Structures are given as C-alpha cells and as structure tokens.
Amino acid sequence: MTILDRPHDHSTTAHRTPPRVLGLAAIGRAVVVGASAAAVSWLLVALLALVAWVATPGDVSWLGTVGAATVGWLVGHGATIRAGAVEVGLLPVGFTLLAVLAAVLATRWLDTDLDADRSPRLDLLGGVRAGTLGLLGGFVGGYLGFSLLSWLATAAMPVSVDPVSALVGTLGVALVGLGVGLRTHLSRATFAPAWHEQVHALVPLAVRRGLGLGLRLGPALIALGALPVVASLVWHAPRVVELTQDLAPGVVGGSVLGLVELAYLPTAALWGLSWLAGPGFSLGEGSSLTWTHVSTPPLPMIPAFGALPDTATMSPFVMLVGLLPVAAGVVLGVLALRRLSALTSLATKAIAVGSAWLATSLVAAALLLLSAGSLGTRSLSDIGPVLLAAPALAAELALGAALTLAWSWRRYHR
C-alpha cells in the first residue's frame, strides 16, 4: 500500500481550531488579559495594605489605605513620588518581579488566538501578521489602561506620582512580561519570517546561543548578590529583632512589615552584588560600603537596616569575596561551551562565550541601575550601587570566562 492509498485519519483534524482572521473580539480579549495581569499584582498589594489597616487602628480610611497601596504598586513599576520638594523613588524589585510574573502567566490566554491567526502579513514589520500585532498591542494597551486608572486614583493623595516615570515603568513591565511569556511564539520563524531569515543570515549560531544564555543568566546574578545580604541578616539578627520590637508593630503589622522588606530583598541583593564586585554601594551622602571599609550615616528606624555592618575598616581577607563574580564568569563560560560541540573551533567557542558574557553584563548593569534611587531625605537622596559597579562586575565575569576558554584551549591542544 502506498502513501496515496492510505486512508485519511480525520480524527487528528476534527478538533483543530480552524484558521481565521482575528477580529475586534480577539483584540478585546487581549485588552482584558493585559488589564487583568495588572489588576492581579495590584490586588495583592492592596490586600496586603488592607490587612495592615484592619489590624492597626488609626484615622486613615480604607479608601486612603487602598490609595496608598496604589501608590506603592506604581512605585513597584518604577514610578517616583513627590511630597513637596522631596522625591522618593527606590524600586522594590520584589514587587516588580511579582508584576512581571503576573504578566507572564496572563500571556497564556493569548496562545489560542496567536496559533489560529491567519491575517495578512505586514511587510514593513518583517511579515508579522496584523492580527498578532493587534493582540500584542491590545495586551500592552490593557496593562497601560489599568495603570492609567491607578494613577488617576492617586490624584487625591497627599503625595503626587510622576506620570512619566509611571508610564515608562508600566510599559517596561508589560513588554518584559509579554516577551518572556510569548518567547516561544516570538522565536518561531512564522512570527516574522523576513526578520527571522535576516537574523539567521547575519548573526552566527554561536552568537545567538550565547546571547540567549546571557539573557537568562543576567537575572540569576540576583541570587549571587543575595549571599552577602542573607549572611549579614543572620549575623546581625539580634539587632534586627531588637529594632522590630522597638517599633512594636504587632503580629499582623510585623508580618506586613516583613513582607514589604521582603519585596526590597532583591533590591538589597543587587546592592550586595555591587559589593561583591568591589566598588560597593552608598546609603547617601558621605557613606560607602566596600571591601575595604564601611561608613554608614544615621538611618531611619527600619529593621532591615539593622543588618548593615557598623562603621569600620574591613579585614583584607574580605577581598576574597571578589572571587565569587569570577566564579560566576567560569560558570557562564562552562554553560556557553556546553551548548556547542566538543569539536567546535576555538574561535567559535570564544564568540559564544563572549556573546554570553556581553548579554549577562548588560542585563546586570541594567538591574544595578534600577536598584539605585532615593528615600527622600537629604542624607538618603542618592542610594544604591555606585557607577563603577557595573564595569567592575563585567571585568570579573570576563576574567572567569577567559579562564574557562583557556582551559578549553588547553584541552583542545592536548
């Protein structure tokens, strides 16, 4: 029996979604999905604030509490707030990651419409289908629409939220969530055929693999920076507990305070990464925390600040922590080489490792930049990693990656 003689199996096609051109209904669903993604992360922050409001008697109404939570949600998206001449803008990276996660999970509701789209392709955009572009734009528009309503709801608050920073931050979260959530769709040749062919023709495979690896490893450096932060928290735990008891927040209030501090833990981890790199970070005018010395100004009565070391000159052995970013560079190089064949030329291996190093360094630099900000007061108007932290970290990662390449070169010639 030949292939032509075989009976056609209708069971495999009976339940397929028929190809169709996406209409306004599909774009409307994408708008709802985008708005829902923003609403989920906002709702979690609002519930946290309401729990604290119920447990803590005061003169603030529940509407004022929800308004304060909305301000906090916008700050988690990178917005700065102003009270008179004082400006506060320190990103709680934990809230930001929560918002990105909500956006990533929400994009799953777009899969069916994206797979079924057979609308005309747009040559000016590499062959992206018009319906697909409408879906992506609808999702981002829905997210921005909810953020706009949130910003308008803060108009009666005693503090003002900067609209430009709020718009840029929410747009960034929506795009990152959309890109991560739909990475499988976006990487297919059918998404933008013309651009896909151009990328494959211009960018070697080793570079593409290295860049993809680096984009994933960059955020993982937050875990590396968390090591000194957690170690300092454990070492200074009695002081942190004492500060918490002095505040007397109660069980519920203490839990809420702990969750807020947990939201800032990734921010502190990025400061720890800057410290591991060597240049360290600052907590305002005249302060510095590096390998060699610690100089801290008077700080607000926040329990987490109790984990900071006292002003002192550090032991020379502390500089050994600089080997951790170098070790991260070694891991980066090993992972990049594992994505290639053992018989690949040394030049190609160097290109792959170099591409992974470049992507990781750029992502780390962006994260370090985002973790800097202000807590409003004059002494805390400029806190976070110093400018030299990013190039120092990149140099240490490059050293580790170079050691991996040297080891690979030695094995190749043996």
Residue 151 has a CB neighbour count (10 Å cut-off) of 19
Pair 274, 281: CB distance under 8 Å: yes
Which residues make Cβ contacts (< 8 Å) with residue 267, sequence separation at least 6?
A: 90, 91, 92, 93, 94, 371
**pLDDT given at position 86:** 76
Residue type, 60: V
Instruction: Per-residue pLDDT tens, the chain, 414 aa: give them.
Output: 333 343 444 444 444 444 455 677 888 999 999 999 999 999 998 888 888 777 666 666 778 788 888 998 999 999 998 877 778 888 999 999 999 999 999 999 998 888 888 888 988 888 999 999 999 999 999 999 999 999 999 888 888 899 999 999 999 999 999 999 998 888 888 888 998 888 888 888 889 989 999 999 989 999 999 999 999 999 988 888 888 887 766 666 666 677 788 889 999 999 999 999 999 998 877 788 888 888 887 777 778 888 888 888 888 888 899 999 999 999 999 999 988 877 788 888 899 999 999 999 999 999 999 999 887 766 677 889 999 999 999 999 999 999 999 988 877 666
Q: Give CA–CA dist 91/199, Å, rounded.
A: 35
**pLDDT given at position 5:** 40
- Residue 211 has which token pair? 């860049």
Pair 210, 353: CB distance under 8 Å: yes
Pair 365, 385: CB distance under 8 Å: no
**pLDDT given at position 41:** 93
SS3 (DSSP) at 168 = helix
Residue type, 88: V
Residue type, 349: K
Pair 136, 63: CB distance under 8 Å: no
**pLDDT given at position 16:** 47
Calculate the CA 339 to chain-centre distance: 25
Q: Give CA–CA dist 170/238, Å, rounded.
A: 38
**pLDDT given at position 377:** 65
**pLDDT given at position 135:** 93
For 215, how many CA atoms within 13 A lie in the half-sphere containing its CB? 10
**pLDDT given at position 9:** 42
- Which of 76, 105, 243, 266 is closest to 177 using CA atoms? 105
Please state the φ and ψ torsions of residue 20, each to the nearest 5 degrees: -155, 165
CA-CA-CA-CA torsion sign (86, 92, 96, 99): negative
Which residues make Cβ contacts (< 8 Å) with residue 367, sequence separation at least 6?
A: 93, 218, 219, 221, 222, 270
Q: Is 286 left (phi over 0), alpha (psi -120 to 50) or beta?
A: left
Q: Give CA–CA dist 352/76, Å, rounded.
A: 35
Instruction: Tell me the helix, strand and coil percentages in the chain, rounded to 5.
Output: 70, 5, 25
Strand ranges across the sheet with 86-88: 86-88, 81-83, 160-161
- Which of 105, 89, 187 is closest to 139 using CA atoms? 105
**pLDDT given at position 10:** 42
Cα 54-56-58 angle, rounded to 5 deg = 100
SS3 (DSSP) at 231 = helix
Which residues make Cβ contacts (< 8 Å) with residue 184, sequence separation at least 6?
A: none
